[in-house]
Structure 1
Amino acid sequence: MLLQTVTPITVLGTTVALALFLSLTAHLAARNVLGDVDPRRALYIGPLPAVTAIVGVTYALPEAVVVLVALVLDGAMFAWSYDQPRRLVVGMTVIHAVVTTLLGLVLFSASLLLATMPG
């Protein structure tokens, strides 16, 4: 078994990759609710929930607390970035959570299948 050490570069890389993934799914959620939107606005949404997840894992915080804080920050960033009424912000946040979960599961399952491929 190969053990890997955690370095600041690996933490930074993981955080940036998660922030970009969350920004992509935030853009998909915003497009679903608002129609044609500027994709650069979604770049503001991903970093805070990503940092929340990394801090939660680092300090072994309860998952329910981390998810709740990430969802609140996600909604706050949607409200700030897109300047929409509360009902639309809640809709975008819920859709963002669903799209992120589904796309994450698909990507994880595909990587697991590829990792167990014979040959």
Structure 2
Amino acid sequence: MLSLVAVSQPATLQATTLSVIATWLLFAAFLSLTAFIAARNLLGDVSLSPHAIVGPPVAAIAFLVATFEFSPLLGLLAALAVDAVAFRYIHGLNRRLLAGVVVIHFTVSVILGAILFSLIALIGSAPV
């Protein structure tokens, strides 16, 4: 009995680690896509690829806040600050445009996230 428990624990740990990494990658890709949408909305024709650097650190902040139970307000402020730094690095925006892009990115992420979550919940609750 002990050997089965010892063998199953690494597999469970490996599956949990893989699912956390996959969730973080999907969330980072989602945030990068919404960053592109926000920049395109305010700045016009922008390239998709530079916005790939926006999602991973913001997603990491969200994961750290949830894991270590930090203050959600501090997590939000940290995520917005990192978002602003990333957009300034990518586009070199002045403060006014930078604030606009960050607010639009936050808004698009919340709205699109709510829609996707609701759609997933709806599909998950559908009768078989």
Please, what TM-score do these two structures have when normalized by structure 1?
Answer: 0.92
Hey, what does 2:26 align to over in structure 1?
A: 17
1:31 maps to 40
Question: Once superposed, what is the RMSD of the aligned Cα atoms?
Answer: 1.4
> Whole-Å Cα distance in 2 between the matches of residues 66 and 52 of structure 1?
7
User: Equivalents in 2 of 1:86, 1:117: separation in Å?
Assistant: 46
d(CA) in 1 for partners of 2:19, 2:126: 26
- Number of the residue aligned with 2:66: 57
Structure of greater Rg: 2
The equivalent of 1:110 in structure 2 is 119
Alignment of 1:69 onto 2:54:
no
- Alignment partner of 1:101 out of 94, 110, 118: 110
Q: How much does 1:8 deviate?
A: 2.2
Q: Give the structure with the higher percent helix.
A: 2
Distance 2:72 2:26 in 1: 20
Distance 1:115 1:7 in 2: 21
The CA distance in 2 between the partners of 1:47 and 1:106, in whole Å, is: 21
Q: Give the residue type in structure 1 aligned to 2:92.
A: D
What is the CA deviation profile of residues 85-105 of structure 1, one whole-angstrom value per residue up to 9, with x for unaligned ones? 111111000000000000000
Structure 2 gap segments, 5+ residues each:
1-11
Could you say what secondary structure the match of 2:70 adopts?
Answer: coil
1:9 Cα deviation (Å)?
1.6
Q: Using the aligned pairs only, state the percent identity.
A: 37
What secondary structure sits across from 1:7 in the alignment?
helix
Query: What is the aligned partner in structure 1 of residue 4 from structure 2?
Result: none
Greater mean alpha carbon deviation, residues 5-14 or residues 66-75:
5-14
The Cα of 1:66 is off from its aligned counterpart by 0.8
Counterpart secondary structure, 2:39: helix
- What is the distance in 1 between the residues matched to 2:50 and 2:93? 13
The residue number in structure 2 matching 1:7 is 16
Distance (Å, rounded) in 2 between the aligned partners of 1:70 and 1:97: 10
Q: Within the alignment, does 1:80 sit opposite 2:93 as a pair? A: no
Moved over 2 A (4+): 4-8
